[in-house]
Amino acid sequence: MSNEEDREVKQREAGNRETARLWRAWRTVHELVQDRGYILSEAEVKISLEDFIHKFNSGDGNIEKSRMNFTAHPSDEMVARYSNPVTDRDPKPAAPDVGPIKVKFEEGDSIGIKNMRKFAQELTAESFHTGIMITSVNITPAALKIIPAVASETRIETFLEADLLVNITHHELVPKHVLLSKEEKAALLQRYRLKETQLPRIQIGDPVARYLGLRRGQVVKIIRKSETAGRYASYRYTV
Amino acid sequence: MATSQMPKSILKKASYPATPTSKQDRDRELALYHADLIQNRKDIELEILFSTETLIDYPLATAPYDASNPSSADAKTFKDLLRPFQPSDYDALIIERNINERCGYTLCANQPRKQSGGGKWRMVGKYGKGKDFRVVDKKELEKWCSEACAMRALYVRVQLSETAAWERGERGENAVQIDLRDEPKSDSDIVEGLDKLQIAGDDNTRKQDTAHLALERGDRGPAARIGSVDVKILEKEIRRAPEAPSLEDQDLTERLDTMHLALEGHTPSFGSNRHRRHEEEEEDTDWKL
């Protein structure tokens, strides 16, 4: 095999690897969005590698990332889960803090303040409630500081492609996490006569918490298999 | 004799706190104090972020200005914005500028030099003396457009304070003074110098005045102490044409007797009131210096 041919084969293989990576990230992020309660069709989530290549190749064997962006709207179930309960003190509670989501696969080998600012402006202009930015490289620390600065307008989350190659929630050692609605949370605290701070805690940066997009103050129910009890539920307060 | 009133205490009243502060109040004060500190820190961090964002697009002035001869406006803004920076913030600024294809030195409009070829490391100083020889990361070399700009940028970096801006205390006192390696050269150096002098003095005194004013108001928050609460004194709006004060004729005679006593239009009252006050003052002057 000549040197030329060798290089070509290597390039193609690298291209294939890159494609496969993107396909896996795509599947995981779709599962993530679906698991959070947004509406996505099964066909979109369970796309096969062939279909994926067919749909997004740019003609020269690479995948066009800019065409992979997608949006989704929350299901009624999700809106109900995020809604604020009607109480005596608060007969007309605020609308639930959820809305359409946009997922963007960001190109480029370095992501700085400018990219983040642009994404935030896109989200605000198109009035998306949440945005997920997926990058192949680390985002600069300064750019990450933009996220809290624009938190009042839009909610931005970032993931690395490398973190999305496998869906962590499908691993057998990761128990099922279920987000409780505000009513369920109130019922839980009432049932055990607890203050919320007396619950065990889960950090907001916990991989599963990031996967589910947990917010400070929410409670998740964790359902584990137990050898003695069959199933065992515990609760975590997000801090 | 049974009365519903409590008997009057014969003990001297304690002079300190008239209303004793409860534990709750003290706790609140403490919590507020620390919350203020944190808020102050957050404000400064945000300010640094926005400054970084602004400085990514510098310099604003185009030719004939360049890194060796920056425009004075750009240089001044650069120095002002850089004041709260720590060296690490400055490094972040350089990285951000590189991402946007600009030389790491803020006042240079050129693109950074690209190193050709692969490999992660480069040899530097191959043709000089042995002690100049170094192996450096390629990324380090791709930050700048030239040696000179690297020098200029690092010249600024070493002048930045290692202490975080929110721990530096009063901003007026140990504000970082930054000099550029290549200060703006201008035709009218003297005029420029005079301008700068005035601006610096003005700003400092204004800040100090604001801080004093806050103290007088009884505002003891940290934000007020460093003069970051901006108090602007505005001229009162005038709606009608000004006219000179005149004496109305009808009650002139009446007012003539007391006119010499008037203090800015107010005539103090005399008689019993004044006597009483006078006596009181004599009685109670031992605390005066």
B93 contacts: CB under 8 Å, gap ≥ 6: A142, B52, B55, B56, B85, B106
Instruction: Give the pLDDT confidence score for residue B33 in this predicted structure.
Output: 93
Could B100 and A112 be called an inter-chain contact, meaning their C-beta atoms sit closer than 8 Å? yes
CA closest to B51 among chain A residues: A142
Which H helix or E strand runs over A237?
strand A230-238
Q: Which chain A residues are within 8 Å of B98, Cβ to Cβ?
A: 110
3-state secondary structure of A148: helix
Domain ranges of chain B: 34-109+149-184, 186-230
Instruction: Give the pLDDT confidence score for residue B131 in this predicted structure.
Output: 78
B142/A contact by beta carbon, under 8 A = no
Of A110, A112, A149, the CB nearest to B49: A149
A7/B contact by beta carbon, under 8 A = no
Instruction: Give the pLDDT confidence score for residue A169 in this predicted structure.
Output: 94
Q: Which chain B residues are within 8 Å of A112, Cβ to Cβ?
A: 56, 95-96, 99-100
CA angle at residue B242 from B236 to B244, to 5 degrees? 125
Could B96 and A140 be called an inter-chain contact, meaning their C-beta atoms sit closer than 8 Å? yes
Of B35, B39, B48, B33, nearest to B165 by C-alpha is B48
Could A112 and B96 be called an inter-chain contact, meaning their C-beta atoms sit closer than 8 Å? yes
Q: How many helices (H) and strands (E) does chain B have?
A: 9, 2
Residue ranges, chain B, pLDDT below 50: 187-188, 200
How close B97 gets to chain A, by Cα (Å)? 9
3-state secondary structure of A79: helix
Backbone phi, psi, residue B228, to 5°: -90, -5
Q: How many helices (H) and strands (E) does chain A have?
A: 9, 9
Topology at the third CATH level for domain B34-109+149-184: 1.25.40
Could A113 and B46 be called an inter-chain contact, meaning their C-beta atoms sit closer than 8 Å? no
Q: Using the structure block, give the residue that is written with the tokens 């609140």.
A: B28
Say if CB A78 and CB A36 are below 8 A apart. yes
Could A142 and B46 be called an inter-chain contact, meaning their C-beta atoms sit closer than 8 Å? no
A114/B contact by beta carbon, under 8 A = yes
Query: B49, B55, B58, B101: which to substitute to probe chain A, counting the most A Cβ within 10 Å?
Result: B49
Of A110, A111, A113, the CB nearest to B52: A113
Q: Using the structure block, give the residue that is written with the tokens 């801090």.
A: A239
Could B93 and A142 be called an inter-chain contact, meaning their C-beta atoms sit closer than 8 Å? yes
How close A113 gets to chain B, by Cα (Å)? 7
Tokens of B137: 């990361």
User: What percent helix, strand, coil does chain A show, rounded to 5?
Assistant: 45, 20, 35
Residue ranges, chain A, pLDDT below 70: 1-2
How close A153 gets to chain B, by Cα (Å)? 16
Whether ipTM > 0.85 holds is no
Could A142 and B52 be called an inter-chain contact, meaning their C-beta atoms sit closer than 8 Å? yes
Say if CB A71 and CB A105 are below 8 A apart. no
CA closest to A149 among chain B residues: B46
Domain architecture of chain A: domains with CATH: 3-166 (3.40.1340.10), 172-238 (3.90.940.20)
pLDDT digits (tens, 9 = 90+) for B190-228: 555 555 555 545 667 777 777 788 777 777 666 665 656
Give bridge partners of residue A219 from the DSSP assignment: A237
Q: Which chain A residues are within 8 Å of B96, Cβ to Cβ?
A: 112-114, 140, 142-143
Instruction: Give the pLDDT confidence score for residue A210 in this predicted structure.
Output: 94
Say if CB A206 and CB A215 are below 8 A apart. no
A113/B contact by beta carbon, under 8 A = yes
- B211 burial class (0-12, 13-18, 19+ CB within 10 angstroms)? buried
- How many angstroms separate the CA atoms of B225 and B208, rounded? 9
Q: Using the structure block, give the residue that is written with the tokens 């989350």.
A: A157
Q: Which chain A residues are within 8 Å of B85, Cβ to Cβ?
A: none
Backbone phi, psi, residue B171, to 5°: -65, -35
Which H helix or E strand runs over A53?
helix A49-56
B140-165: string of b/e by CB count within 10 Å (b at 16+)? Answer: ebebbbeeebbebbbebbebbbeeeb
Of A70, A10, A25, nearest to A161 by C-alpha is A25
- Helical H segments across chain B, by residue range: 23-56, 72-82, 87-99, 138-141, 147-157, 189-217, 222-225, 252-259, 272-283
A22/B contact by beta carbon, under 8 A = no
B40/A contact by beta carbon, under 8 A = no
